[in-house]
Amino acid sequence: MITLGEYIIAKQHDFPEASGELTLLLGAIRLAAKVVNREINKAGIADIIGTTGLENIQGESQQKMDLYANDVFKAALEARGEVCGIASEEEENFITFDDKRSLNSKYIVLMDPLDGSSNIDVNVSIGTIFSIYKRISPVGEPVVLEDFLQPGVTQVAAGYIIYGSSTMLVYTTGNGVHGFTCDPSLGVFYLSHENIKIPTDGQIYSINEGNYLTFPEGVKKYLKYCQAIDNDTNRPYTSRYIGSLVSDFHRNLLKGGIYIYPSTASAPQGKLRLLYECNPMAFIMEQAGGTASDGFQRIMALKPNTLHQRIPFFCGSKNMVSTVQDMMQEHSPRSEN
């Protein structure tokens, strides 16, 4: 059985600039994930569930575990000294680590410390999402905003941890997608899913259909397509929606399917964050042979404008995303003009 640490070291030659820094950085994420996983497993018997009464920068109610996970990952990344700065969904601004070793490091991390945290109260799977870039500002100086506003194509690594019936860490450095399952008796992540590939076609669509009336016409048409009977394409498809991005994404990655979070009347720019959710998931999906789009163009080609920018998100099996994109284009105001 191969551990996560052993696998990362063995595969360093696949990384364009192989060094021990990335290994240590991923090791910090692994450690933080184990700490957060331990606390999540206490939900219901410890005072860690429920809201704090505060809101994050996006105006969303913060859960107690949101802040706990944010502090744990922040502390773990700072302690290793391999990261010069981070940006988090739970922080209004990016954070600079200003000790000498950190300032001389070349990596930054963007993260959603606990995606779907409101589901802890009802024992539904949740997750952590992370994205790693090389800084563009000079080494030795504090990081600047431009370090974090890079398009997804410049990511050097990305991944997620899913805390569910088992805890898994899934990551890519641009050479395939690999999954590691935690042995709870030892607290060790072992390789369980090497070189994950999503099927080109899937049978699952994941979307909050309760918002149907507010969806763009292209999405409405695609949902009718998914529900129609057609033996040649094995339709109707199966609707599966958990309401936790990591959980829905993970299922579709392994089984084949599409995840859709479109713009709506109340969220015309979309709701998911480009930097903390969409870019890292897009990197993973593309490395697994799938596609990620905002409905019209490739997610990882988008140039971010702000730290907390939101966008629509269509992600999954290549043929399914292509079909919905065609329908989005057909009903786009651009095409009508």
CATH number at residue 289: 3.40.190.80
Q: Which two tokens stand for residue 256?
A: 């084949």
pLDDT, position 20? 76
d(CA 54, CA 194): 40
Type of residue numbered 245? L
Quick check: 45 pLDDT over 60?
Answer: no
Quick check: 103 pLDDT over 60?
Answer: yes
Q: Let me know whether 255 and 286 are in one domain.
A: yes
d(CA 32, CA 321): 34
The CATH number covering residue 141 comes to: 3.30.540.10
Determine how many CB atoms are found less than 10 A away from the CB of residue 137: 16
Quick check: 337 pLDDT over 50?
Answer: no
Quick check: 52 pLDDT over 80?
Answer: no
Look at the chain and report how many structural domains it folds into. Answer: 2
What are the pLDDT digits (tens) for 263-287? 998 899 999 999 999 999 999 999 9
Domain that holds residue 310: 204-336
Q: Let me know whether 131 and 235 are in one domain.
A: no
Q: Let me know whether 175 and 219 are in one domain.
A: no
16 phi/psi in degrees, rounded to 5: -50, -35
d(CA 272, CA 278): 7
Quick check: 143 pLDDT over 60?
Answer: yes
Q: Let me know whether 185 and 208 are in one domain.
A: no
Residue 64 lies in a domain: yes
pLDDT band at 336 (very low <50, low <70, confident <90, very high): very low
Q: Which two tokens stand for residue 174?
A: 């641009």
% of the chain exceeding 90 in pLDDT: 74
* Pick from 8-12, 45-49, 163-167: least confident: 45-49
